[in-house]
Amino acid sequence: MMLRFTRVAPDRHRFEYRLPDGDGEAIELETHTTLYHDLLHYAVETQAGLRGSFYGLLAKVGGYAELVVGGGAALGGEVAITEALVGVLTGALKADAPDPPAIIEQFRDHIGLFEWRMPSWLTEAFVQAVAERMRQLEGRWRATPFGETMELSFALTR
């Protein structure tokens, strides 16, 4: 699946996804919060090889608004765990020097409230890899001129 993020204005961007058969959608979004969140989902899901979280469900179900408004956590399973991790990582990765052990402990405390199991792929190396991928994605976005598009590929199968 191709993901396209187009800079429309300082505070707006267009998000588009296209499946191999050409189906998909394009939607204009507020950039300040949604872009970082969507890129962090991409970093987490591609690093962990997840296919049942936001981008995998987007390919299966379609409809960005339906997934966002309904909330991934409400769906349970993999997407709920991914959504919770993205929430924990959002603030932690914006710090000057993310602390992987502290991030993992914070996530462990969070999922303990729901009696979820800790994902085996959530390691310090994973957190460091996601932080590096986000650094690269943010750099690419900052280098994308207005009216231009940053393209990313999301594998729908492992």
**48-73: pLDDT as tens digits:** 999 999 999 998 887 888 777 655 55
- Provide the pLDDT for residue 83: 92
Q: What is the pTM of this model?
A: 0.93
Q: For 74-110, b where at least 16 C-beta lie within 10 A, e where not — what string?
A: ebeebbbbbbbbbebbeebbeeeebebeebbeebeee
**76-102: pLDDT as tens digits:** 789 989 999 999 999 899 877 789 999
Tokens 């993310």, residue? 98
Residues of the chain with pLDDT > 70, as a percent, come to 95
Distances (CA, A) of 137 to 15, 22, 53: 15, 25, 19
Tokens of 83: 């959504």
